[in-house]
Structure 1
Protein backbone atom coordinates (compact mmCIF):
# COMPACT_ATOMS: atom_id res chain seq x y z
CA UNK A 1 0.00 0.00 0.00
CA UNK A 2 1.60 3.28 -1.09
CA UNK A 3 1.71 6.25 1.23
CA UNK A 4 -0.25 9.21 -0.07
CA UNK A 5 1.14 12.05 2.02
CA UNK A 6 4.38 13.13 3.65
CA UNK A 7 4.99 12.06 7.23
CA UNK A 8 2.63 13.72 9.72
CA UNK A 9 3.01 14.15 13.47
CA UNK A 10 -0.26 13.24 15.19
CA UNK A 11 -1.47 12.32 18.66
CA UNK A 12 -2.39 8.64 18.92
CA UNK A 13 -5.26 7.17 20.91
CA UNK A 14 -4.55 3.47 21.60
CA UNK A 15 -7.81 1.55 22.09
CA UNK A 16 -8.84 -2.03 22.80
CA UNK A 17 -10.85 -2.09 19.57
CA UNK A 18 -10.27 -1.19 15.91
CA UNK A 19 -11.69 1.84 14.09
CA UNK A 20 -12.39 1.23 10.39
CA UNK A 21 -12.62 3.83 7.60
CA UNK A 22 -16.15 5.20 7.55
CA UNK A 23 -16.84 3.89 11.04
CA UNK A 24 -18.06 5.84 14.06
CA UNK A 25 -16.40 6.01 17.45
CA UNK A 26 -17.77 7.28 20.76
CA UNK A 27 -15.27 8.01 23.50
CA UNK A 28 -15.45 9.09 27.13
CA UNK A 29 -12.56 11.47 27.82
CA UNK A 30 -11.23 11.90 31.33
CA UNK A 31 -7.43 11.62 31.36
CA UNK A 32 -5.56 14.94 30.98
CA UNK A 33 -3.47 13.62 28.06
CA UNK A 34 -6.62 12.89 26.08
CA UNK A 35 -8.32 16.15 27.06
CA UNK A 36 -5.22 17.85 25.60
CA UNK A 37 -5.59 15.68 22.48
CA UNK A 38 -9.19 16.79 22.00
CA UNK A 39 -8.26 20.44 22.55
CA UNK A 40 -5.46 20.21 20.00
CA UNK A 41 -7.73 18.63 17.39
CA UNK A 42 -10.48 21.17 18.06
CA UNK A 43 -8.04 24.06 17.76
CA UNK A 44 -6.27 22.87 14.62
CA UNK A 45 -9.08 20.97 12.89
CA UNK A 46 -6.73 18.01 12.50
CA UNK A 47 -7.45 14.36 13.10
CA UNK A 48 -5.96 12.01 15.68
CA UNK A 49 -4.87 8.43 15.13
CA UNK A 50 -6.67 5.40 16.57
CA UNK A 51 -4.57 2.25 16.95
CA UNK A 52 -5.31 -1.12 18.51
CA UNK A 53 -3.46 -1.70 21.77
CA UNK A 54 -0.81 -4.41 21.47
CA UNK A 55 0.44 -4.13 25.05
CA UNK A 56 -1.05 -2.26 28.00
CA UNK A 57 -4.45 -0.76 28.71
CA UNK A 58 -6.52 2.23 27.60
CA UNK A 59 -6.06 4.03 30.91
CA UNK A 60 -2.95 4.44 33.01
CA UNK A 61 0.54 3.85 31.65
CA UNK A 62 1.06 4.55 27.92
CA UNK A 63 0.07 1.55 25.81
CA UNK A 64 1.96 0.10 22.86
CA UNK A 65 -0.07 0.78 19.68
CA UNK A 66 -0.31 -1.31 16.53
CA UNK A 67 1.65 0.02 13.56
CA UNK A 68 -1.45 0.39 11.35
CA UNK A 69 -4.39 2.53 12.45
CA UNK A 70 -7.13 4.84 11.23
CA UNK A 71 -7.44 8.61 11.30
CA UNK A 72 -10.34 9.86 13.41
CA UNK A 73 -12.01 13.25 12.91
CA UNK A 74 -14.09 14.61 15.78
CA UNK A 75 -17.65 15.34 14.64
CA UNK A 76 -19.37 16.11 17.95
CA UNK A 77 -18.66 17.08 21.55
CA UNK A 78 -21.03 16.69 24.47
CA UNK A 79 -21.07 16.57 28.25
CA UNK A 80 -22.11 13.15 29.47
CA UNK A 81 -24.48 12.48 32.35
CA UNK A 82 -21.48 11.61 34.51
CA UNK A 83 -20.05 15.08 33.81
CA UNK A 84 -17.19 13.82 31.64
CA UNK A 85 -16.43 14.97 28.12
CA UNK A 86 -17.82 12.74 25.37
CA UNK A 87 -16.79 12.89 21.74
CA UNK A 88 -17.97 11.28 18.53
CA UNK A 89 -15.41 10.72 15.79
CA UNK A 90 -15.53 9.32 12.27
CA UNK A 91 -12.92 7.01 10.77
CA UNK A 92 -10.98 8.28 7.76
CA UNK A 93 -7.85 7.08 5.99
CA UNK A 94 -5.70 4.26 7.27
CA UNK A 95 -2.09 4.97 8.14
CA UNK A 96 1.15 3.32 9.15
CA UNK A 97 3.12 4.56 12.15
CA UNK A 98 6.80 4.99 11.37
CA UNK A 99 7.90 6.20 14.82
CA UNK A 100 6.30 6.77 18.22
CA UNK A 101 7.29 8.77 21.26
CA UNK A 102 5.64 9.45 24.61
CA UNK A 103 5.26 12.96 26.02
CA UNK A 104 5.90 13.69 29.67
CA UNK A 105 2.12 13.62 30.31
CA UNK A 106 1.84 10.12 28.83
CA UNK A 107 0.30 11.12 25.50
CA UNK A 108 1.57 8.93 22.66
CA UNK A 109 2.58 10.77 19.50
CA UNK A 110 3.30 9.15 16.17
CA UNK A 111 4.93 9.97 12.87
CA UNK A 112 2.49 8.51 10.36
CA UNK A 113 2.09 8.02 6.62
CA UNK A 114 -1.47 7.76 5.37
CA UNK A 115 -2.59 5.10 2.89
CA UNK A 116 -4.46 5.75 -0.28
CA UNK A 117 -8.15 4.81 -0.02
CA UNK A 118 -9.05 1.47 -1.56
CA UNK A 119 -10.41 1.47 -5.08
CA UNK A 120 -14.20 1.40 -5.25
CA UNK A 121 -15.18 -2.05 -6.53
CA UNK A 122 -18.73 -3.45 -6.67
CA UNK A 123 -19.37 -6.57 -4.61
CA UNK A 124 -19.05 -9.51 -7.02
CA UNK A 125 -22.01 -11.85 -7.51
CA UNK A 126 -20.32 -14.76 -5.76
CA UNK A 127 -20.05 -12.67 -2.58
CA UNK A 128 -23.59 -11.25 -2.61
CA UNK A 129 -24.44 -13.32 0.45
CA UNK A 130 -22.33 -10.89 2.44
CA UNK A 131 -24.44 -7.91 1.40
CA UNK A 132 -27.57 -9.75 2.53
CA UNK A 133 -25.97 -10.54 5.89
CA UNK A 134 -24.92 -6.93 6.30
CA UNK A 135 -28.44 -5.68 5.61
CA UNK A 136 -29.92 -8.13 8.13
CA UNK A 137 -27.40 -7.17 10.78
CA UNK A 138 -28.16 -3.50 10.16
CA UNK A 139 -31.89 -4.11 10.59
CA UNK A 140 -31.23 -5.72 13.97
CA UNK A 141 -29.07 -2.78 15.03
CA UNK A 142 -31.62 -0.15 13.99
CA UNK A 143 -30.72 3.52 13.40
CA UNK A 144 -28.23 4.82 12.41
CA UNK A 145 -27.05 1.53 10.93
CA UNK A 146 -30.28 0.86 9.05
CA UNK A 147 -30.20 4.31 7.47
CA UNK A 148 -26.49 4.23 6.61
CA UNK A 149 -26.54 0.81 4.99
CA UNK A 150 -29.83 0.99 3.09
CA UNK A 151 -29.10 1.05 -0.63
CA UNK A 152 -25.32 0.90 -0.23
CA UNK A 153 -24.67 -2.74 0.57
CA UNK A 154 -23.72 -3.81 -2.95
CA UNK A 155 -22.02 -0.71 -4.29
CA UNK A 156 -18.57 -0.81 -2.68
CA UNK A 157 -16.73 -3.94 -1.58
CA UNK A 158 -14.42 -1.98 0.69
CA UNK A 159 -17.31 -0.27 2.50
CA UNK A 160 -19.24 -3.54 2.88
CA UNK A 161 -16.19 -5.33 4.26
CA UNK A 162 -15.44 -2.65 6.83
CA UNK A 163 -19.06 -2.53 8.00
CA UNK A 164 -19.18 -6.32 8.38
CA UNK A 165 -15.97 -6.19 10.43
CA UNK A 166 -17.73 -3.79 12.79
CA UNK A 167 -20.91 -5.82 13.14
CA UNK A 168 -19.62 -9.40 13.21
CA UNK A 169 -18.22 -10.66 16.55
CA UNK A 170 -14.60 -10.70 15.44
CA UNK A 171 -11.88 -10.54 18.04
CA UNK A 172 -9.58 -7.49 18.04
CA UNK A 173 -6.68 -9.32 16.36
CA UNK A 174 -8.98 -10.42 13.53
CA UNK A 175 -10.23 -6.85 13.14
CA UNK A 176 -6.66 -5.59 12.97
CA UNK A 177 -5.86 -8.17 10.29
CA UNK A 178 -8.88 -7.07 8.25
CA UNK A 179 -7.86 -3.43 8.63
CA UNK A 180 -4.38 -4.16 7.32
CA UNK A 181 -5.53 -6.04 4.21
CA UNK A 182 -5.19 -3.90 1.08
CA UNK A 183 -7.53 -5.88 -1.18
CA UNK A 184 -11.27 -5.37 -0.51
CA UNK A 185 -12.20 -8.58 -2.33
CA UNK A 186 -9.74 -10.61 -0.28
CA UNK A 187 -11.26 -9.10 2.87
CA UNK A 188 -14.75 -10.14 1.77
CA UNK A 189 -13.56 -13.62 0.86
CA UNK A 190 -11.97 -14.09 4.28
CA UNK A 191 -15.13 -12.84 5.98
CA UNK A 192 -17.17 -15.32 3.94
CA UNK A 193 -14.88 -18.15 4.99
CA UNK A 194 -15.29 -17.46 8.72
CA UNK A 195 -19.07 -16.97 8.61
CA UNK A 196 -19.82 -20.60 9.57
CA UNK A 197 -18.26 -19.87 12.95
CA UNK A 198 -21.13 -17.49 13.73
CA UNK A 199 -24.00 -19.67 12.54
CA UNK A 200 -26.34 -20.94 15.20
CA UNK A 201 -26.24 -24.62 15.89
Structure 2
Protein backbone atom coordinates (compact mmCIF):
# COMPACT_ATOMS: atom_id res chain seq x y z
CA UNK A 1 0.00 0.00 0.00
CA UNK A 2 1.30 3.48 -0.85
CA UNK A 3 2.35 5.94 1.88
CA UNK A 4 2.26 9.74 2.00
CA UNK A 5 2.96 12.54 4.46
CA UNK A 6 -0.21 14.35 5.57
CA UNK A 7 -0.86 18.04 6.11
CA UNK A 8 -4.26 18.68 7.75
CA UNK A 9 -5.41 22.10 6.56
CA UNK A 10 -8.44 24.37 6.79
CA UNK A 11 -7.43 25.60 3.31
CA UNK A 12 -8.86 23.00 0.96
CA UNK A 13 -7.52 21.85 -2.41
CA UNK A 14 -8.81 19.27 -4.90
CA UNK A 15 -7.36 17.95 -8.18
CA UNK A 16 -6.51 20.84 -10.49
CA UNK A 17 -6.70 23.36 -7.65
CA UNK A 18 -3.91 25.49 -6.24
CA UNK A 19 -3.28 26.66 -2.68
CA UNK A 20 -0.67 28.87 -1.02
CA UNK A 21 0.56 27.60 2.35
CA UNK A 22 2.91 29.08 4.95
CA UNK A 23 4.94 26.32 6.62
CA UNK A 24 6.26 27.00 10.11
CA UNK A 25 6.56 23.77 12.08
CA UNK A 26 9.76 21.72 11.79
CA UNK A 27 7.89 18.52 10.87
CA UNK A 28 6.23 20.24 7.89
CA UNK A 29 9.48 21.87 6.77
CA UNK A 30 10.97 18.34 6.74
CA UNK A 31 7.94 17.15 4.76
CA UNK A 32 8.44 19.91 2.17
CA UNK A 33 12.18 19.26 1.86
CA UNK A 34 11.64 15.53 1.39
CA UNK A 35 8.85 16.19 -1.10
CA UNK A 36 11.08 18.47 -3.17
CA UNK A 37 14.03 16.08 -2.99
CA UNK A 38 12.00 13.07 -4.14
CA UNK A 39 9.46 14.86 -6.38
CA UNK A 40 6.87 12.69 -4.62
CA UNK A 41 4.51 15.35 -3.28
CA UNK A 42 2.45 14.98 -0.11
CA UNK A 43 -1.22 15.00 0.87
CA UNK A 44 -3.52 17.76 2.09
CA UNK A 45 -6.40 16.62 4.29
CA UNK A 46 -9.56 18.67 4.79
CA UNK A 47 -10.27 19.86 8.32
CA UNK A 48 -12.57 22.56 9.64
CA UNK A 49 -10.84 25.65 11.01
CA UNK A 50 -12.04 24.85 14.56
CA UNK A 51 -10.45 21.38 14.40
CA UNK A 52 -6.85 22.40 13.70
CA UNK A 53 -5.65 21.21 17.13
CA UNK A 54 -7.32 17.80 16.84
CA UNK A 55 -5.51 16.62 13.74
CA UNK A 56 -5.75 12.82 13.85
CA UNK A 57 -9.32 12.46 15.14
CA UNK A 58 -10.82 14.87 12.63
CA UNK A 59 -9.10 13.78 9.42
CA UNK A 60 -11.69 12.56 6.87
CA UNK A 61 -11.06 9.60 4.55
CA UNK A 62 -10.85 11.43 1.21
CA UNK A 63 -7.79 13.64 0.75
CA UNK A 64 -5.78 15.14 -2.12
CA UNK A 65 -2.26 14.31 -3.26
CA UNK A 66 -0.47 17.55 -4.14
CA UNK A 67 2.75 18.60 -5.85
CA UNK A 68 4.76 21.68 -4.97
CA UNK A 69 4.78 24.09 -7.92
CA UNK A 70 6.49 27.07 -6.24
CA UNK A 71 8.27 27.88 -2.98
CA UNK A 72 10.20 30.69 -1.32
CA UNK A 73 11.81 31.49 2.02
CA UNK A 74 9.89 33.95 4.19
CA UNK A 75 11.00 36.04 7.16
CA UNK A 76 11.46 34.32 10.50
CA UNK A 77 12.50 30.98 9.03
CA UNK A 78 9.09 30.35 7.51
CA UNK A 79 8.57 28.71 4.14
CA UNK A 80 5.93 29.74 1.61
CA UNK A 81 4.80 27.09 -0.87
CA UNK A 82 2.21 26.83 -3.64
CA UNK A 83 0.78 23.37 -4.22
CA UNK A 84 -1.39 21.92 -6.97
CA UNK A 85 -3.80 19.04 -6.40
CA UNK A 86 -3.09 15.99 -8.55
CA UNK A 87 -5.59 13.30 -7.48
CA UNK A 88 -8.03 12.23 -4.77
CA UNK A 89 -7.07 9.35 -2.50
CA UNK A 90 -8.77 7.33 0.26
CA UNK A 91 -6.80 7.13 3.51
CA UNK A 92 -6.78 3.62 4.97
CA UNK A 93 -4.58 4.12 8.04
CA UNK A 94 -2.62 6.93 9.74
CA UNK A 95 0.63 6.67 11.73
CA UNK A 96 2.49 9.34 13.70
CA UNK A 97 6.20 9.64 12.80
CA UNK A 98 9.02 10.35 15.28
CA UNK A 99 8.60 14.15 15.04
CA UNK A 100 4.80 14.17 15.00
CA UNK A 101 4.40 14.19 11.22
CA UNK A 102 1.37 12.20 10.17
CA UNK A 103 1.96 9.45 7.61
CA UNK A 104 -1.01 7.94 5.79
CA UNK A 105 -1.46 4.68 3.92
CA UNK A 106 -3.82 5.11 1.01
CA UNK A 107 -5.51 3.74 -2.07
CA UNK A 108 -6.47 5.67 -5.23
CA UNK A 109 -9.98 7.10 -5.35
CA UNK A 110 -12.47 8.03 -8.09
CA UNK A 111 -11.37 11.00 -10.18
CA UNK A 112 -13.82 13.27 -11.99
CA UNK A 113 -13.33 13.29 -15.75
CA UNK A 114 -13.33 16.54 -17.71
CA UNK A 115 -16.83 17.46 -18.85
CA UNK A 116 -17.86 20.34 -21.12
CA UNK A 117 -19.90 23.31 -19.91
CA UNK A 118 -23.55 23.24 -20.93
CA UNK A 119 -26.09 26.02 -21.31
CA UNK A 120 -27.35 25.13 -17.82
CA UNK A 121 -23.91 25.23 -16.17
CA UNK A 122 -22.45 28.24 -18.01
CA UNK A 123 -23.58 30.44 -15.09
CA UNK A 124 -21.33 28.49 -12.68
CA UNK A 125 -18.35 29.26 -14.89
CA UNK A 126 -19.32 32.93 -15.19
CA UNK A 127 -19.77 33.30 -11.42
CA UNK A 128 -16.40 31.66 -10.75
CA UNK A 129 -14.72 34.14 -13.12
CA UNK A 130 -16.46 36.94 -11.24
CA UNK A 131 -15.30 35.54 -7.89
CA UNK A 132 -11.69 35.35 -9.09
CA UNK A 133 -11.88 38.94 -10.36
CA UNK A 134 -12.94 40.08 -6.87
CA UNK A 135 -10.29 37.86 -5.21
CA UNK A 136 -7.30 38.37 -7.52
CA UNK A 137 -4.87 36.74 -5.08
CA UNK A 138 -6.69 33.43 -5.69
CA UNK A 139 -7.38 33.97 -9.38
CA UNK A 140 -3.68 34.74 -9.96
CA UNK A 141 -2.80 31.17 -8.97
CA UNK A 142 -4.30 29.95 -12.27
CA UNK A 143 -2.44 30.88 -15.43
CA UNK A 144 -4.68 28.63 -17.54
CA UNK A 145 -8.08 28.29 -15.81
CA UNK A 146 -10.37 25.62 -17.28
CA UNK A 147 -13.58 27.61 -17.49
CA UNK A 148 -14.96 25.20 -20.12
CA UNK A 149 -14.64 22.14 -17.85
CA UNK A 150 -17.52 21.78 -15.38
CA UNK A 151 -15.60 19.19 -13.31
CA UNK A 152 -12.77 21.71 -12.80
CA UNK A 153 -15.25 24.49 -12.00
CA UNK A 154 -17.18 22.40 -9.45
CA UNK A 155 -13.98 21.46 -7.63
CA UNK A 156 -12.93 25.11 -7.40
CA UNK A 157 -16.32 26.00 -5.89
CA UNK A 158 -16.02 23.17 -3.34
CA UNK A 159 -12.59 24.52 -2.33
CA UNK A 160 -13.70 28.11 -1.76
CA UNK A 161 -17.20 27.74 -0.31
CA UNK A 162 -17.40 27.96 3.51
CA UNK A 163 -19.03 24.55 3.96
CA UNK A 164 -18.49 22.08 6.78
CA UNK A 165 -15.98 19.40 5.78
CA UNK A 166 -18.61 16.64 6.07
CA UNK A 167 -20.63 18.29 3.29
CA UNK A 168 -17.58 18.81 1.10
CA UNK A 169 -16.70 15.14 1.62
CA UNK A 170 -20.21 14.13 0.59
CA UNK A 171 -19.81 16.03 -2.69
CA UNK A 172 -16.30 14.81 -3.56
CA UNK A 173 -17.06 11.14 -2.86
CA UNK A 174 -19.54 11.10 -5.75
CA UNK A 175 -18.53 9.42 -9.00
CA UNK A 176 -19.23 12.61 -10.98
CA UNK A 177 -19.87 16.32 -10.34
CA UNK A 178 -23.63 15.89 -10.96
CA UNK A 179 -24.65 16.35 -7.29
CA UNK A 180 -22.28 19.32 -6.94
CA UNK A 181 -23.81 20.95 -10.02
CA UNK A 182 -27.30 20.62 -8.56
CA UNK A 183 -26.12 21.94 -5.21
CA UNK A 184 -24.31 24.93 -6.73
CA UNK A 185 -27.20 25.90 -9.00
CA UNK A 186 -29.52 26.00 -6.01
CA UNK A 187 -27.00 27.66 -3.69
CA UNK A 188 -26.11 30.38 -6.17
CA UNK A 189 -29.81 31.08 -6.71
CA UNK A 190 -29.90 30.09 -10.34
CA UNK A 191 -32.99 28.81 -12.11
CA UNK A 192 -32.68 25.05 -12.17
CA UNK A 193 -34.88 22.29 -13.57
CA UNK A 194 -34.14 18.61 -13.00
CA UNK A 195 -35.23 17.66 -16.49
CA UNK A 196 -32.54 19.70 -18.22
Distance (Å, rounded) in 1 between the aligned partners of 2:64 and 2:75: 28
2:23 is the counterpart of 1:29: yes
Please state if 1:123 is matched with 2:148. Answer: no
User: 2:82 and 2:91 mapped to 1: Cα distance?
Assistant: 23
Give the Å deviation of 1:161.
Answer: 0.5
Checking the alignment, whether the CA contact within 8 Å between 1:54 and 1:66 is kept in structure 2 is no
Once residues 150 and 135 of structure 1 are traced to their aligned partners in structure 2, the CA distance between those partners, rounded to angstroms, is 12
Shift of 1:17: 3.2
Relative to 1, partners in 2 of residues 1:44 and 1:187: Cα closer, same or farther, differing over 3 Å? same
> CA 1:26 to 1:54, structure 2 compared with 1: closer, same or farther past 3 Å?
closer
TM-score by length of 2: 0.82
The 3 A distance-change label for structure 1 pair 27 and 121 is same
**Contact 2:171–2:179 (CA under 8 A) maintained in structure 1:** no
| 5+ residue gaps, structure 1 | 1-6, 197-201
Structure 1 residues 151, 76: CA separation in 2 closer, same or farther (over 3 Å shift)?
A: closer
User: Alpha-carbon deviations, 1:73-104, whole Å to 9, x = none?
Assistant: 11122111343112111111000001111113
Match of 1:90 among 84, 95, 102: 84
Q: Deviations over 1:53-80 (max 9, x none)?
A: 3798546x75331110001111122111
Query: Counterpart in 2 of 1:140?
Result: 134
Structure 2 residue runs of 5 or longer lacking an equivalent are 190-196
Q: 1:31 to 1:147 in 2, by over 3 A?
A: closer
Query: Cα distance 1:124–1:81, how it changes in 2: closer, same or farther (>3 A)?
Result: same
Give the CA deviation at 1:112.
0.9
For residue 38 of structure 1, give the secondary structure of its aligned residue in structure 2. helix
1:176 aligns with 2:169: yes
Equivalent residue in structure 2 for 1:187, among 180, 186, 190: 180
Segment of structure 1 superposing worse, 83-92 or 137-146 = 137-146
Residue 199 of structure 1: aligned partner: none
What is the RMSD of the two structures over their aligned residues, measured on CA atoms? 2.7
Q: After superposition, where does 1:51-130 map in structure 2 within 5 Å?
A: 51-53=45-47, 57-58=51-52, 62-64=55-57, 65-130=59-124
Q: Which residue of 2 aligns with 1:4?
A: none
